Amino acid sequence: MGGYGSGRAGWRNKVEECRSLDVNRLHREGCLAPGYSGGWNWMRDGESIANISMHSNGLTLTLEFRVSQNGSEWKDICQPIRLDSTPCRFGGSRPWFICPGVGSGRRCGRRVAKLHAGGTYFLCRHCYQLGYASQSEQEFDRLLRRANKLRTSLGGEPGTGALIARKPKGMHWKTYDARVAEIDQLEESANKLFIAAHQHRWPDISLFL
């Protein structure tokens, strides 16, 4: 079972968690050539998880798909993306997408190799700040490591599910209270980061017919 769309002429399959389009891959597969009409199919475990139809006139690649975010109603999207190319040092040229994103009233317009479906449209990494999730994950780990170190320094077990140990003998209450307060604060910050990083989910994308 290859997922629907996979047997269609001009369709390409891609195994990747993120719904992203790579301009070099599309170029190699002939999807940017004038007159191309077909689609792209994202696969996981042999099943289609998302797909879009695409056609190119050589200057613009037009994507057509339906999008639903967090279970909201499906919206039909037709998204033209301008193409550009720059000469290579040893001849030939390499293609680029011109990111169609608009942020704070300004067009992004960056020449990029990849566009990602991080919201309604396919936009570049800068527009979706996809680097954010991994950065915040590092910070999340750092906060919890510090909290765990404090938990074990008091003689307790690491992990937010464990009880914080009682005050060790010989330790001042002031010191103990300060450590407990710091553990609470670190774990609360980690929790806030986790929520912020994960509320941004990949939308569902389906073929627009």
Nearer to Zn ion, 63 or 150 (CB): 63
Give me the 91-130 binding string for Zn ion, x by CB under 5 A, dash otherwise: --------x-x------x--------------xx-xx---
Pull the structure tokens for residue 130: 């996809």
**In angstroms, how far is the first alpha carbon of the chain from the final one?**
21
81 binds Zn ion (CB under 5 A): no
Pull the structure tokens for residue 126: 């800068």
CA-to-CA distance for 164 and 145, rounded, in angstroms? 15
> What residues numbered 127-146 form the site for Zn ion, per CB under 5 A?
127
Q: Which residues contact 57 (CB under 8 A, 6 or more apart)?
A: 34, 35
Site size for Zn ion (CB under 5 A): 7
- Give the amino acid at 115: L
Q: How far is the CB of 99 from Zn ion (least distance, A)?
A: 3
Q: How far is the CB of 82 from Zn ion (least distance, A)?
A: 12
> Is the separation of the CB atoms in 113 and 123 below 8 Å?
no
Nearer to Zn ion, 120 or 160 (CB): 120
> Is the separation of the CB atoms in 147 and 179 below 8 Å?
no
Q: How far is the CB of 128 from Zn ion (least distance, A)?
A: 8
Nearer to Zn ion, 99 or 143 (CB): 99
Read out DSSP for 122-175? EE-HHHHTTHHHHHHHHHHHHHHHHHHHHHHHTT--SSTTSPPPPPPTT--HHH
Q: How far is the CB of 107 from Zn ion (least distance, A)?
A: 9
Nearer to Zn ion, 194 or 202 (CB): 202
Q: How far is the CB of 31 from Zn ion (least distance, A)?
A: 20
Nearer to Zn ion, 52 or 124 (CB): 124
Residues forming contacts to Zn ion in the complex (CB under 5 A) are 99, 101, 108, 123-124, 126-127
